[in-house]
């Protein structure tokens, strides 16, 4: 039976992930991933085990040594033997989406753009960039503090869609309602403790829509 550190390394390479990719996804340093794969660190925090299992798409029980390396045998299953509509994990497409910084789910915050970071996402997500959410104003849409929201760039979105918006130099995530006949824009939260933000007339000159939210990734809690 393979050792746990060997399983982790082989699974990462199978998914074509770098140690840095895994480190960012799990929330640890690249050096920690290296020590996990070399077997120098045998014990992991429970939340890191869950995050690592999600990133590598294996059972947490494998990482904890409760199960054998079942993921490799599953990957060797002939395609014809898989249930209809099930794609082997090795064929799942992943892509890097630029992380531009943070966006407020509450009061607007300064728009921090950092194009040096990337987040791994499902290859089917049609997003141009992503942002980390701060605050609780969008919890009704199941977007929580610390979640990552993926944005498809657009100058305008349909009423009722969730969008990333720049208000002067501050960014916020809200549900959009625009009424051109009244020259009025309403940004609605998804939490009753926050009142709508309403902008009329010349106030709209200081507002820019970055794009529509197309997906979000919840953090491991």
Active site residues: 137, 174
Structure tokens, 114: 């950092």
- Residue count (the chain): 221
Tell me how crowded residue 194 is: count the other CB atoms within 10 A of its CB: 18
Asked if residues 128 and 180 have their Cβ atoms less than 8 Å apart, the reply is no
Question: What is the DSSP secondary-structure string of 105-161?
Answer: SSS-EE----TTEEEEEETT---SEEEEEESSTTGGGT--TT-EEEEEE-S---TT-
| DSSP assignment letter at 21 | H
Q: What sign results for the dihedral spanned by CA atoms 64, 68, 72, 74?
A: negative
Asked if residues 4 and 62 have their Cβ atoms less than 8 Å apart, the reply is yes
> Helix, strand, or coil here: 189?
coil
With CA atoms as reference, report the closest residue to 37 among 18, 51, 24, 54: 18
C-alpha–C-alpha distance, residues 158 and 135, integer Å: 24
């Amino acid at each position: 039976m393979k050792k746990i550190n060997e399983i982790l390394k082989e699974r990462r390479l199978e998914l074509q992930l770098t140690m840095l990719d895994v480190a960012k996804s799990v929330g640890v340093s690249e050096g920690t991933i290296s020590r996990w794969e070399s077997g120098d660190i045998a014990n992991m925090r429970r939340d890191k085990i869950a995050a690592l299992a999600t990133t590598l798409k294996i059972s947490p029980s494998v990482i904890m040594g409760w199960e054998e390396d079942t993921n490799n045998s599953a990957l060797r299953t002939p395609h014809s033997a898989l249930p209809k509509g099930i794609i082997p994990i090795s064929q799942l497409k992943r892509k890097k989406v630029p992380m531009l910084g943070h966006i407020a789910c509450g009061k607007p915050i300064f728009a921090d753009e950092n194009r040096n970071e990337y987040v791994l996402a499902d290859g089917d997500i049609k997003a141009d960039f992503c942002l980390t959410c701060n605050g609780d104003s969008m919890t009704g849409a199941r977007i929580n503090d610390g979640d990552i929201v993926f944005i498809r760039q657009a100058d305008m979105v349909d009423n009722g869609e969730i969008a990333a918006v720049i208000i002067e130099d501050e960014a916020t995530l809200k549900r959009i309602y625009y009424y051109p006949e009244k020259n009025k824009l309403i940004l609605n939260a998804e939490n009753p403790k926050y009142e709508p933000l309403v902008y009329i007339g010349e106030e709209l000159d200081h507002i820019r829509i970055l794009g529509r939210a197309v997906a979000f990734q919840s953090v491991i809690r």
